[in-house]
Structure 1
């Protein structure tokens, strides 16, 4: 809610790589078994990529079965002190933390200290939810299970912003979050939730009787000899940790409240041991770390039957399909997870059938697209070395802009498509004019044309020619389909179809909510690096539009749909959507914050 989104599946597909220039060095032919040829190529390509993207430091590990083929560091972990990145340098892993948290939870399931399909309330008795989807609130509580938390199907909000940078104990989270409103019906779709994993961390502590860090060290890090891995501390306190950078400047390490969701420090070399354990069905150096059955559960699709998830497959912790990102190769099962934010970027990608893996971590906030592309290309080369045959997806060569016939949609088509669409990236406005169909999303304005396959494509003109490079946004194919009576904006990228947003029609607007138009500031917060300082509400073409504010920086627009006189939700489904906003006597409340009105076009109503 109200956040700048990074590291969420499909974000790079839609908004990344806009206006990129230059191509990396072409890879050489890779003879069968010649992994050294891959290493020589990467030793040239990685510095070239880092220079182009101005990334200070990067570390990489390549895994083939039980062999660590290569682990190497590039650049610097600390520019001011000239500290180089080595294979032992630890980076913030961001959301990759969830893989280790899910593994630790499954270990406790093996020990019958947690149960996958029991209500999480059996472990966290103080935690309860409120639901507009259930007549009996107790049914809503019973629907929140460990399996649904691990597979992002709990229906919980994506975030709880208040206290996001605080360091209070993990065990306090269930009580602090009790009474939160569900954003989606549990079990109905994948809606990525850091909050859900914070609760998993609390359940691990409660069921094991140990602090989260202690439990993870004892059950995973020490058996796997992951000596640089930890969920606590910052780079200034622990040797061998990289500083994060944003636009060339070093960042102050942010405190992380939701450690189980995003607090891991680790290195690609350490994570390679974790991957080797998974490839060996739970064994590492002849020591049983987890049961084979647990790994099978982790890699089993959990969201079968969720029509709104389309081609995005979710396991326990792992994404089991690229979800709109470029695949390694058709027919090759690919499991992955990325991690971004706090001025780091990371990706773990494994090919379970071939037992190949690439792990890359970098210490710059702008490195995410580079890390993802480098991971995919490296795995293609590793497949070539394993099989002796070149590997390429159907669309390895990106289409040239303007190279395909595109035409303005017919008038009846433009009328059908025009409207406001709620997406995780904000309001996607599609407008019909007498001569064209235009779109606007996250500050980008473009024309929407039909390609020869009937899909919508985004394009911009420069001097009358279709030359403007919109990156991934220009290559993705869009269209609107009806699913369960809802009009869903979908994208097809690299042969996969994923949901982007939902068309929203202007709702009846109760006077109580019409009166909320104005600006608001956060009350009673002394948080360091607070993610939100205020919000504003305005009317736009019959919609209430709410926007977050971080000091002088406006955040994303969302459509606010009233549910009753006291509650409204952020329209749509997916990351950050469906979250509840409540009216208070003197303002609004959302994501744990209370907001006081600072400016209004008219006198507020009192009730």
Structure 2
């Protein structure tokens, strides 16, 4: 028998598991309670569905710690990047109606779009490339991101920006790409993006708790965002089609059921399957990701194909995942800063339990990433731009300089030519960098680019790309020093800008206090006397830092922000 509360205890927004799902509910509750007890998040909501409807809808913890409001399946959260799969559905609808072409240049379809390039006069980008994060666009325009600026302004703002990568060369996640797609939907539908979504997605699927603005009817069920256990105000967000959706677990459960049934208005089953098919281009550096159209596609040894997307804003986390082969879907929404990791862990656990209960798990099969098998490994040497900062590898001694934490670490060479930290060096690392001690480092050449590859727990990851040591214009050395942001966005600004040279590499330093207390340091490659490109691969890399003259001063322009030099006293 399923464990079902008495009717007097059952809230109207809760559907508990059917008999076969009772073990899922029991085991998942243990994990959920542990997360709540450890203060990983204040509250969360879960929806588990199959093609026949909801299997489990329930909320746990508090939607608002200050008011003591319990979380339920109808609680409304800011879902962050779970907005992107819905924006993708709108684009697919209009492609099916031949109002948008997935494979025609966006500049021929979206009035007013243009962007600069260091290598070519004209950049040709298609909606398909925007949907699958291979357009080469910058990841974000940080200036104005946390303001009420209309997202349609991004089209104009990009006129003064540069492409980060050549189209189809590197996977690079971009919120800006989805702003352009939302703007395209507006222009082609001749209605606001929010109204189009309401009429063509939300209303037909009975998603009554989903919108891009919080209505009066939604407000009483709105979850508060929390940081360090305290309720914090939700900042505005410019990038509506990428990040701006408010929704509930129950609504997103309805969406997943419709997708599993192939019953999305004006989208046939073949188009849904296309969205769930990897779009990685031949020769593209995939960085371990396999994006479809609005989704990420993963292969699990036991579960098979996983179609998923995560969501994260400063005060919320989310995960939505489906197993098409098992006709199951789950969404987890949470209301704590950094709770996206907990949401993803819980969603994966629930799906694994549900598949196990139904007895439909696959036989284990080895999974290899084709992105990593293109060339034989070599011993790394030189400087690499990575998400862990600038790493300088000296294979002769051998040792590793982790510039961001200013440590020189002893290494050991293994029989296969890979390098790893000695136990003593690994033990000396600060907690946030101890992952370096768990890695073996190799280099590979893929798509004519040398990359640093790390092996950890039997899996390989691209950490970054090699920095080519070459002379650069001496004028940049004269610009080293500190800069003051002169066009701030209040508490959401970039500040403490600084240019420095480290081991012969030009570096940009800055702080984003709303995201981290630490200073961010990235290596730059000057491409002219006034322009330098952030080195490395992936999000935030490839973007251009420019020197512009303002009131006779040589100022830094970065992601829309302007910094003037601070004169030394």
Q: TM-score range by the shorter chain?
A: 0.7 to 0.9
Q: Deviations over 1:40-77 (max 9, x none)?
A: 22222211122124411111111223331101111001
Corresponding residue for 2:507? Answer: 545
If asked which structure has higher relative contact order (CA below 8 Å, sep 6+), I would say 1
Corresponding residue for 1:561? Answer: 525
1:594 aligns with 2:562: yes
1:86 aligns with 2:61: no
**Which of 543, 550, 553 is residue 579 of structure 1 equivalent to?**
543
Corresponding residue for 2:335? Answer: 363
Distance 1:154 1:431, change over 3 A: same
Tell me the distance in 1 between the aligned counterparts of 2:517 and 2:250. Answer: 38
Corresponding residue for 1:408? Answer: none
Distance 1:489 1:588, change over 3 A: same
**Which of 187, 191, 195 is residue 172 of structure 2 equivalent to?**
191
Structure 2, unpaired ranges of 5+: 1-17, 368-376
Say which SS state the counterpart of residue 214 (structure 1) adopts. helix
Instruction: Output aligned runs, 1:36-55, within 5 Å.
Output: 36-55=22-41
Q: Give 1:600 deviation, angstroms.
A: 5.6
Tell me the distance in 2 between the aligned counterparts of 1:463 and 1:175. Answer: 47
Whether the 8 Å CA contact 1:517–1:600 is kept in 2: the answer is no
Corresponding residue for 2:255? Answer: 274
Corresponding residue for 1:336? Answer: 308
Q: Give 1:174 deviation, angstroms.
A: 1.1
Single out whichever of 545-554 and 363-372 deviates more from structure 2: 545-554
**Which of 264, 268, 277 is residue 291 of structure 1 equivalent to?**
268
Distance 1:444 1:510, change over 3 A: closer
Q: Give 1:189 deviation, angstroms.
A: 2.2
Distance 1:201 1:425, change over 3 A: farther
Q: Give 1:368 deviation, angstroms.
A: 2.9
Whether the 8 Å CA contact 1:381–1:391 is kept in 2: the answer is no
1:258 aligns with 2:221: no
Tell me the distance in 1 between the aligned counterparts of 2:415 and 2:74. Answer: 51
1:99 aligns with 2:85: yes
Distance 1:453 1:248, change over 3 A: farther
* TM-score, scaled relative to structure 2: 0.86
1:374 aligns with 2:374: no
Q: Deviations over 1:255-293 (max 9, x none)?
A: 00001111111122211111111111235xxxx452223
Q: Deviations over 1:562-606 (max 9, x none)?
A: 0011211001221111101111222111111221001469xxxxx
Tell me the distance in 2 between the aligned counterparts of 1:353 and 1:116. Answer: 26
Corresponding residue for 2:473? Answer: 510
Corresponding residue for 1:66? Answer: 52
Tell me the distance in 2 between the aligned counterparts of 1:600 and 1:465. Answer: 35
Q: Give 1:439 deviation, angstroms.
A: 5.5
Distance 1:258 1:205, change over 3 A: same
Say which SS state the counterpart of residue 492 (structure 2) adopts. coil
* TM-score, scaled relative to structure 1: 0.81
Whether the 8 Å CA contact 1:145–1:154 is kept in 2: the answer is yes
Say which SS state the counterpart of residue 161 (structure 1) adopts. coil
Corresponding residue for 2:186? Answer: 205
Single out whichever of 592-601 and 270-279 deviates more from structure 2: 592-601
Whether the 8 Å CA contact 1:229–1:265 is kept in 2: the answer is yes
Say which SS state the counterpart of residue 560 (structure 1) adopts. strand
Corresponding residue for 2:443? Answer: 480
Say which SS state the counterpart of residue 118 (structure 1) adopts. coil
Q: Deviations over 1:139-167 (max 9, x none)?
A: x1xx1111111111111101111111221
Tell me the distance in 1 between the aligned counterparts of 2:432 and 2:559. Answer: 37
Whether the 8 Å CA contact 1:157–1:183 is kept in 2: the answer is yes
Q: Deviations over 1:455-477 (max 9, x none)?
A: 555675499899x9977655555
Structure 1, unpaired ranges of 5+: 1-31, 322-326, 396-412, 602-607
Distance 1:469 1:172, change over 3 A: closer
Q: Give 1:529 deviation, angstroms.
A: 3.1
Corresponding residue for 1:156? Answer: 137
Distance 1:247 1:548, change over 3 A: same
Q: Give 1:384 deviation, angstroms.
A: 0.8
Q: Give 1:449 deviation, angstroms.
A: 4.9
Tell me the distance in 1 between the aligned counterparts of 2:412 and 2:333. Answer: 38
Whether the 8 Å CA contact 1:94–1:262 is kept in 2: the answer is yes
Corresponding residue for 1:305? Answer: 282
Corresponding residue for 1:398? Answer: none
Q: Deviations over 1:465-524 (max 9, x none)?
A: 99x997765555542112244220123456654422012133312121111101111123
Q: Deviations over 1:6-48 (max 9, x none)?
A: xxxxxxxxxxxxxxxxxxxxxxxxxx98211111222222111
Whether the 8 Å CA contact 2:76–2:218 is kept in 1: the answer is no
1:499 aligns with 2:485: no
Whether the 8 Å CA contact 1:309–1:498 is kept in 2: the answer is no
Tell me the distance in 2 between the aligned counterparts of 1:162 and 1:33. Answer: 51
Q: Give 1:124 deviation, angstroms.
A: 2.2
**Which of 345, 349, 357 is residue 321 of structure 2 equivalent to?**
349
Distance 1:334 1:348, change over 3 A: same
Tell me the distance in 2 between the aligned counterparts of 1:490 and 1:235. Answer: 51
**Which of 363, 368, 390 is residue 427 of structure 1 equivalent to?**
390
1:316 aligns with 2:293: yes
Corresponding residue for 2:14? Answer: none
Tell me the distance in 2 between the aligned counterparts of 1:276 and 1:545. Answer: 49
Say which SS state the counterpart of residue 195 (structure 1) adopts. helix
